[in-house]
Amino acid sequence: MDFLTIDWQPIYLSLKLAFVSTLVLLIIGTPIAWKLSQTDGWLKHFVSTIVALPLVLPPTVIGFYLLILMSPNGWLGQFTQALGLGSLLFSFSGLVIGSVIYSLPFVVQPLQNAFETLGNKPLETAYSLGAKPIDTFFSIVAPMCRRSFITAAVLGFAHTLGEFGVILMIGGSVPGETRVASIAIYEQVEMLNYADAHKLALIIILISIVLILISYRFGYQKMMVKPNH
């Protein structure tokens, strides 16, 4: 079939980037969301603001600062070079860092909402029954908030899939390394190669529909407490 003759590599790379980023996002986003749900006052609002910034900033602004940080003279660049990892610029690892920052609010906010809605009561009950905090988190909080974890993961994944500006700034277009679908589409359009752009765009649309469907179908928090009869 003619449709399948396209270069699948950008699609594959986009999915790989989204998958790895989502994994990292869940690992670092969960404790941030938890901490935010348990604190109050200035610190909470300050950290929330930082986490929410990518929602309002132009991706090029994030990309610009990341570019400076990751450049051989930037402290992140110097750090990775000192570790013998070379530069993060124009590398897949650099993209993961960019994506994690870019998609952080999409993972942190649903989780934070879920933890706040859950309230302190289940925690206090678990503590009074002798469960330690980490134990309580994994045996009570995580299962009770599992739907929000699905929502957070899907949103993080989908948002990373749609990333363009940040990648353009720090990743360029290295085939197999940083040339993800959104960049590939842009390049095809620039070369007036509309047929290939269409194919890639259509695949991205399909994947996005499936993802959002999953998030709506399984992600919403069903009321678990029935009224007394």
Partner 1 sequence: MTCLELNIRLDKGNFRLSLNEIMQAQGITVIWGESGSGKSLLLRSIAGYENVIGKIRLNDQTLLNDRQRINIKPFLRRIGYVDQNAQLFPHLTVKQNLNFAYKRAKASYKQQSYSFADVVAVLQLEPLLEQKPATLSGGERQRCVIAQSLLSYPRLLLMDEPLSALDSTIKVPIIEFLLKIPKTFSVPIFLVTHAYEELLKLADQVIVIAKGQSLGVYKLDEFCSNYAQSLVPAQQLGSLVRGEQINCSEYGLSKLSCGSQTLYIPATQNNKKHLEVIIYAKDVSISLSKPEQSSILNLLEARIERIIDYSNSSKLLQLSIGQQSLLSLITLKSFHELNLSLGQKIFAQVKTISFIR
Amino acid type, 127: Y
Segment contacting partner 1 by CB under 8 A, of 49-57, 139-147, 169-177, 208-216 = 139-147
What letter would DSSP give residue 4? G
Site string for partner 1, 87-126 (x = CB under 8 A): ---------------------------------xxx-xxx
The least CB distance from residue 160 to partner 1, in Å, is: 29
Q: Can residue 39 be called a binding residue for partner 1 (CB under 8 A)?
A: no
Total residues binding partner 1 (CB under 8 A): 24
The least CB distance from residue 144 to partner 1, in Å, is: 6
**Is the Cβ–Cβ distance between 150 and 107 less than 8 Å?**
no
Q: Residue 71 or 113: which CB sits closer to partner 1? A: 113
Q: Choose which of 139, 175, 216, 218 interacts with partner 1 (CB under 8 A).
A: 139
Rounded CA-CA distance 37/132 in Å is 18
Report CA-CA distances (Å) from 126 to 54, 99, 148, 193, 202: 36, 36, 21, 60, 48
Give the distance, in angstroms, between the CA of residue 134 and the centroid of all CA atoms in the same chain: 24
Q: Choose which of 143, 190, 192, 217 interacts with partner 1 (CB under 8 A).
A: 143
Rounded CA-CA distance 28/51 in Å is 12
Q: Can residue 76 be called a binding residue for partner 1 (CB under 8 A)?
A: no
Q: Choose which of 40, 82, 83, 229 interacts with partner 1 (CB under 8 A).
A: 229
Residue 194 burial (CB count, 10 A): 11
